Amino acid sequence: MISGGGTGGHIYPAIAIANAWKEEYPDSEVLFVGALGKMEMQKVPEAGYRIEGLPVAGLQRKLTLENLKFPFKLLKSLNQAKKIVKDFKPDVVVGVGGYASGPVLYAAQSKGIPTLVQEQNSYAGLTNKILAKKARKICVAYPNMEQFFPAEKITYTGNPVRKDILELEGKREKALAHFGLEEGKKCILILGGSLGARTLNQAVLKDMKALDKAGYQVLWQSGKFYFKEMLEKTSASGLKNIHLREFIREMDLAYAAADVIVSRAGALSVSELSLVGKPVIFIPSPNVAEDHQTKNAMAYVSHGAAWLLKDREAVGALKTKLDELMQDTAIGEALGKNIKELAKPDAAIAIRKELEKLVA
């Protein structure tokens, strides 16, 4: 049983773990448990797995009617989680973070079923810190996580990622054709997540004429929230080298086409980009708990494996940073080499091996 979700950063590692398990044990059953109304309820069935939904939700930062409902939703979710665990009888339960993982792992642990926590970030979330106390194993994506978890339970596996990211060799020509890009022009890939990142979008808007004039082409994922607004503004500009997309499904092709990548620093993005091995500028979101995106990015910046541009400085400073990278190929090559050295391409298999020990 695998529980958690809420964002792609939780869901895609969970699916990668399930895939690694099913490849080795095709006759075994895998059940996901997520939060009703969250993206896992769509993404997990699309990946071919069954999912049950809980009514659990998080606390809002301000006083709202939803916060008053929180205790009732939590209690209902705990009762449902107990029933799901009792009916399914899992041999082992994995929590990947997100609202659903709390009730499900608590239910499993209270029955003595072995549990494994997978922490994607360099700064552990509160739910995982609580669950880790009774978990048998904690798989982490960054070194030095002993400040959050008992050292004897930790295994440094890295974050599991989609398999197609591991296979970029020889895809550049196909990638350029797919996105309508030109050979011979440097390509900048802008990624703000599936919903979008206002700062990244505003930074590209401000600099898009200058980027076009400099001869760069920009493959730009604006995200669902901002696509309509960005489409209106780019259409009016008439710039042919700005290639706007609401969402990019073919991420392997996008990575293959890119010469430089500008991205938020969510856990999954950081792990994928380490496997891609190209120069990256991280612009961490300031709107996340414990500023964990900055901590994720700094784990790479401190190894000379990426650059960091602060969110408050990005609008107006992005092109300058991009010019520095484009004009000094030695810096770009060093960043690409260093980030690749931090990659953990076999993370899903490493986690599967830890699960095997728990059910042995």
Three-state secondary-structure class, residue 220: strand
Three-state secondary-structure class, residue 307: strand
266 is in an annotated binding site: no
Contact (CB, 8 A) for 196 and 223: yes
302 is in an annotated binding site: no
79 is in an annotated binding site: no
9 is in an annotated binding site: yes
Q: Which of 306, 334, 336 shows the shortest CA–CA distance to 321?
A: 306
4 is in an annotated binding site: no
174 CB-contact burial (10 Å; exposed 0-12 / middle 13-18 / buried 19+): middle
268 is in an annotated binding site: yes
113 is in an annotated binding site: no
Distance between CA atoms of 162 and 17, rounded to whole angstroms? 10
Measured in Å, how far apart are the chain's first and last C-alpha atoms?
16
Q: What DSSP designation does 180 have?
A: T
204 is in an annotated binding site: no
201 is in an annotated binding site: no
Distance between CA atoms of 280 and 303, rounded to whole angstroms? 13
Distance between CA atoms of 177 and 175, rounded to whole angstroms? 5
Distance between CA atoms of 215 and 185, rounded to whole angstroms? 7
7 is in an annotated binding site: yes
157 is in an annotated binding site: no
269 is in an annotated binding site: yes
- Which residues are annotated as part of the binding site? 7-9, 121, 162, 194, 248, 267-272, 293
- Which residues are annotated as part of the binding site for UDP-N-acetyl-alpha-D-glucosamine? 7-9, 121, 162, 194, 248, 267-272, 293
